[in-house]
Amino acid sequence: MAKATRAAFGETLVELVEAGMDIMAVDADLCGSTTTAKLGAAYPDRLVDVGIAEQNMIGVASGLALTGRTVFTGSFAVFGSGRCYEQIRNTVCDSGLNVKVCPTHAGITVGADGATHQMLEDIALMRVLPGMRVLVPADYASAKAAIRLAAQTPGPFYVRLGREPLPEVYGDDFTCELPFANVVREGADISIMACGVEVAHALKAAEELAAEGISAEVVDVMSVKPLDEETIVASAAKCGRVLTVEEHSIYGGMGSAVAELLSEKHPVHVTRLGLTTFGQSGSAAELLAHYGIDADGIAARVREVLKA
């Protein structure tokens, strides 16, 4: 059953409280959309809604973290990482506070809300910050695991969540550790390294390519920072060519992180597939197809790479 990664947020926070963790959430007037409202309904004293004031959201979360709590923040990605970047940088990361920035509605799959709400630069913003860990889960189960991992690991985290329901990639018992990348489909001709929304599309593309005799490996690079260097280098060495795919700008995102790693540890041909412009209004499916990052677009780029 397809479920959005944002659906995992509030549910997992409730589960963490019930497991005995001192969890709190701070949201910026979007508790229903981010699903932190589920925590507020179950434990009203665990949720603070500061209104449309994202900078204050980070300040309040930081203050709560200084009292020993593990604090999660909500909001949409364009506001929850962009509008309060200075506060995340100077208050959360510089002090190494136990604040987990977990905005929803990231990427172009926000859909009809258009370019102003389609955050395509957040991975780049967050991965450059000292001390920040960046996770981009591929489905509901991995989103729950990522949120649990963030809660159980001291210090700043950025967990990128989305609005669009995604197909199942992992089972309910999925767990992960840092760093994390996982070969979800074995192959030999090219390694498609994807994160978030793009993992399911990469798997579908690999099936399409297999019918043509092309063996594509698919690697879920959920942990963009820190990278699972061993898994990524091993896949690149095995296949000899890499295509990175992300619902994000190709500048500074997961693809850049992988290319930087491989240029130092095992140079191979790397092609980055993602966005280079702002988004626009449309359905999630229309936009993924328009920008060439749905399954058909990924398969087409693989064919181009292998012909080069």
Catalytic residues: 54
Provide the CB-side half-sphere exposure for 184 (13 A, CA).
29
> Which residue is it, tokens 């012909």?
307
Residue 69 · residue 126 · CB < 8 Å: no
The two three-digit tokens of residue 113, written as one number: 């809300």
* Strands (DSSP E) found in 22-179: 23-27, 47-49, 70-73, 99-101, 133-135, 157-159
Residue 82 · residue 122 · CB < 8 Å: yes
Provide the CB-side half-sphere exposure for 258 (13 A, CA).
34
**What span, in angstroms and rounded, lies between the C-alpha atoms of 230 and 221?**
12
**What span, in angstroms and rounded, lies between the C-alpha atoms of 246 and 274?**
5
Q: How many CB atoms lie within 10 A of CB 213?
A: 7
Ramachandran angles phi, psi of 242, nearest 5°: -130, 135
The two three-digit tokens of residue 21, written as one number: 């963790």
**What span, in angstroms and rounded, lies between the C-alpha atoms of 179 and 36?**
26
Report how far apart the first and last C-alpha atoms of the chain are (Å, whole number): 38
